[in-house]
Amino acid sequence: MTSPFTRTLRFKVRPESYGWLSAAAVEVNQVFNFCNEASLLAVTRTDLKRKWLTGFDLVNLTSGSARYFERIGADTIQRICVEYAQKRFAAKRRRLRWASVAVRVAPSVGFRSRPRT
């Protein structure tokens, strides 16, 4: 049974983690930019195979890409793709843009730590 309210936790980030978080934010930005470019190319095709990519389609396109990233895993990549598709569908736009360059991490996309094998 889910609770009817959202609990917000506030944590203090140690200065030693700033470098790791910045590098992870760059990787998240790369995944977001790929989703943006792939969905724009799919929508603006000139033949009859135009398609509005869903989160499921973007997850399939990014499958196997976790091995090329050091700090984010497949679960984070999947969440970025689904979040991107939801935000783009809600905005009814072919392409999403950020308001400023300083924003690097997609909102409400968390990093999950997982052991690397």
Position 106 scores a pLDDT of: 45
Position 102 scores a pLDDT of: 47
As a whole number, mean pLDDT of residues 48-59 equals 89
Q: How confident is the model at residue 1 (pLDDT cuts 50, 70, 90)?
A: low
Contact 105, 22 (CB under 8 A): no
Q: Is 85 a residue whose pLDDT tops 70?
A: yes
Q: Give the Å distances, CA to CA, from 117 to 67, 76, 81, 107.
A: 11, 17, 24, 28
Helices (H), the chain: 18-43, 55-61, 74-91
Q: Which residues contact 106 (CB under 8 A, 6 or more apart)?
A: 28, 32, 80, 83, 84
